[in-house]
Amino acid sequence: MATPHILPAVPVAFGDDGSLDLDGSRAILRYTAASGNEGAFVLGTTGEFPALNVEERNLLAKASVEELAAHMRVVVHVGAPSLREVLQLIEGARAAGATEIAVITPYYLPATDGALRGFFRAVSDASDGLDAYLYVFRNRTGNFVSAELMAELALLPNIKGAKVSEEPLEVIAAYRAVVPDDFVLYTGADRDLARTAEFGAQGVVSGVSSVFPKPFRELAAAAASGDEEAIAAAQFKVDDVVATVKGDMGRIKAAYAMMGIPGGTVRMAIEAPSEPVLADLRRAVDLYA
């Protein structure tokens, strides 16, 4: 069995006043570069992209390519509510030297299949020379790509795959049944790394693996070997770090600080970890970092 791919979803560092901390962000990127993972997903949900402006995102795209591209694939998320912003961000990613981008569905207002079809057709048209991935996150955007629509969008010339968050793996399987064989599918469900192949996915985009890559690498290797005992042991560790971090950027950055990485703070309205949470994070850092 092929080793499932892990693309850590990388956070962005901010100062206490909410200013962009580019040095701290580069430190996180360098930690990611040394993780042994197949790639990185930057400026996505874990990167607090809705709180960044176009200039900041383009600056971070450039830093991401500079720090990561020699070590792994770099998928730069360029999604935004409006096509106008997306097109600016595509050009920024291209100028930064990126070769792969991801685009979340438009969000806040509901979009019809016709509107999504037109939106992603324009994204494809603007993405010559880039591999583009659809980003489906119904629980955050309010908009969903049905299997029928995914079958259409997968045929657009520059659309190469999709990342799907907070959906059951059966949704991945429904997509796999209607897309070309070389269409790449990732789940955003950290825990499901070892099960992705059963449902037609190539791996996970994982926020938790950005801070605790070792348990995920262990699980990926165990899944590739087919050793059920090794899978169970590694799955326990992954379940532990996922339950500890809960995909929370404040917890991720607190763990970085414990590891000597200047991850800074958050820009969005995310509660600081409590003392019991910090104690649990310390336990996880001691065990798995």
The residue extents of the domains of the chain are 5-212+261-267
**C-alpha span between 73 and 62 (Å, rounded):** 14
Query: What pLDDT sits at residue 1?
Result: 73
Token pair in block for residue 108: 């806040």
pLDDT in tens, the chain (289 residues): 789 999 999 999 999 999 999 999 999 999 999 999 999 999 999 999 999 999 999 999 999 999 999 999 999 999 999 999 999 999 999 999 999 999 999 999 999 999 999 999 999 999 999 999 999 999 999 999 999 999 999 999 999 999 999 999 999 999 999 999 999 999 999 999 999 999 999 999 999 999 999 999 999 999 999 999 999 999 999 999 999 999 999 999 999 999 999 999 999 999 999 999 999 999 999 999 9
**C-alpha span between 176 and 94 (Å, rounded):** 29
Query: What pLDDT sits at residue 65?
Result: 98
> Which positions ≥6 away from 83 have C-beta within 8 Å?
106, 119, 122, 123
Q: Is the CATH number of domain 5-212+261-267 3.40.190.10?
A: no
Long-range Cβ contacts of 212-218 (<8 Å, 24+ apart) = 212/241, 212/245, 212/255, 212/284, 212/288, 212/289, 213/6, 213/8, 213/32, 213/35, 213/36, 213/37, 214/288, 214/289, 215/240, 215/241, 215/288, 216/6, 216/37, 216/190, 217/6, 217/35, 217/36, 217/37
Amino acid at 96: A
